[in-house]
Amino acid sequence: MSHYVEEGNVGEPMKIFYSLLFFTTVLSPIVYSQVGGSSIYTFLNSSSSARATALGGTIITDPGSDLALALENPAQLNEQMNGQISFQHQFIQLGIQSGYVGFGKFIPSKKIMTHGAIKYIGYGTFEQTDEFGNQIGEFKGNEVSLQLGASYQVYEKLHIGANVKFIQSSLDVYRSSGMALDLGALYIDTASNFTVGLVIKQMGSQLTSYEDTRENLPLNVLVGISKRLKHLPFRLSLTWHHLNKWNLLYDDPNSQEGGFFGGFQLLENEATKTDNFFRHIIFGGEMYLGKKELLSLRVGYNHQLKQELSVTNLRSLTGISLGFGFRVKKFQFDYATVRRHFGGSSHHLGLSTNLRYFTGNGIL
């Protein structure tokens, strides 16, 4: 990643950040919380990029050239991704696998960067039994999302973007479909190497439901900041997720909780409040190595993941993610691993290149 030298006001990024916090505060009463256990298509909130997985599960403030991050924040699309094609695949426990395939295209006449992508997850094969527990067959479950997105540079430091998603879900003979919209913004201060991001993900509804009852989509409001250190090739990122829902400690289908910044339900004690607060935060760090920074080492920590998947009285590295990325000639390779449970880890692989390396500018 190149070093930024543009002059600018270092205080301006914090003004943008506080403005985003204010915007989210105003938004909270409007975008009311999703009730625990009632949302559908939750695979949409999973990471699409091996890089994002290594940084804790998501990154919405990246000014780089990873096309798969367009699903984390559509405003991260930029002209560097023109002609890029990306393949991502994740191996999860119990035979569950998910992946992403995407392609980016810049439209010079409109000054818009676009991308098209497919995100999928397969839950494997399940045993089908009768009411007495006798196996009578097998069935499979899978979900897929077809996505189109675009970003526009409003001015030198501000990008805005949107993703439109068509979702198809199937479990045995049951089917469901839906539509969703993501809206994002990314502010980049190259003088101070500071970025701020805001995303509202999965706004939408089901088109057809499994049965007669329609379910909510997994709405997620995120705000993030990242800072590249001045004298060290290291970028630190913090992401606040699920700002539309304060209480992440339990799922109560009868509760209608308020927003993150007001009207939330009081918790039992200070320790519980602190735990709940940190469940909203993902920490990520990336170290760049080499003269051209072709190698990156990454680490992340997701407190919500740790608290939900840890086993009482058994220590583990649950919630910690590690990864690396490196470029060899025309190809970028990325790898991440996440300790999801003391019984095993998931592994995420990524491969991307730019078709213009092989075809020239041509029709691309």
Rg (C-alpha) for the chain, rounded Å, is 21
Question: 0.95 cut: is pTM over it?
Answer: no
Q: What is the pLDDT of residues 297-316, one digit of tens each?
A: 999 999 998 888 877 766 77
Give the pLDDT of residue 273: 84
Tokens representing 155 are 């001015």
Question: Residue 308: its pLDDT value, please?
Answer: 84
Q: Which long-range contacts (CB under 8 A, 24 or more apart) does 79-84 make?
A: 79/106, 79/113, 81/106, 81/113, 81/115, 82/106, 82/113, 82/354, 82/356, 82/364, 83/354, 83/355, 83/356, 83/364, 84/352, 84/353, 84/354, 84/355
Q: Is 44 helix (H, G, I), strand (E, B) or coil?
A: helix
Give pLDDT, residue 124.
87
Within 235-315, where are the H helices? Answer: 270-278, 303-309
Point out the residues of the chain with pLDDT beneath 50: 1-10, 16-36, 251-266, 363
SS3 112: strand
Gap between the terminal Cα atoms of the chain = 24
CA-nearest of 61, 102, 1 to 352 is: 102
Contact present, 332 and 1 (Cβ < 8 Å): no
What is the C-alpha separation between 270 and 209, in angstroms, rounded?
41
Domain boundaries, the chain: 11-359
Q: What pLDDT, on a 0 to 100 scale, did the predictor assign at position 105?
A: 96
pLDDT digits (tens, 9 = 90+) for 311-324: 776 677 888 999 99
Q: Is 318 exposed, middle or buried (0-12, 13-18, 19+ CB in 10 A)?
A: buried
Q: What is the pLDDT of residue 4?
A: 35
Pick the CATH number of 11-359 from 3.40.50.1820, 2.160.10.10, 2.40.160.40, 3.10.129.10: 2.40.160.40
Mean pLDDT for all residues in the chain:
84
User: What is residue 332's predicted lDDT score, i.e. its pLDDT?
Assistant: 96
Q: What is the pLDDT of residue 127?
A: 86
* Helical ranges in 262-346 per DSSP H: 270-278, 303-309
Residue 233 CB partners (closer than 8 Å, separation 6+):
287, 288, 289, 293
Q: Which residues are registered as beta bridge partners of 263?
A: none
What is the rounded CA–CA span in Å between residue 77 and residue 70?
6
Residue type, 254: N
In terms of DSSP H, where are the helices of 211-333? 270-278, 303-309
Q: Where are the beta strands (DSSP E) in the chain?
A: 84-91, 97-107, 112-129, 135-155, 158-171, 174-189, 194-208, 220-228, 234-240, 281-289, 295-302, 320-328, 331-341, 344-354
What are the phi and psi torsion angles at 256 (to 5°)? -120, 95
* pLDDT at residue number 327: 95
d(Cα 252, Cα 241) in Å, to the nearest integer? Answer: 19
49: left (phi over 0), alpha (psi -120 to 50) or beta: beta
∠ CA 238-157-284, nearest 5°, is 15
Helix (H) or strand (E) holding 14: helix 11-27
- Give the β-pairing of 194-208 and 344-354: unpaired
Q: Is there a contact between 221 and 200 (Cβ–Cβ < 8 Å)?
A: yes
Tracing tokens 């190149």 back to the chain, one arrives at: 2
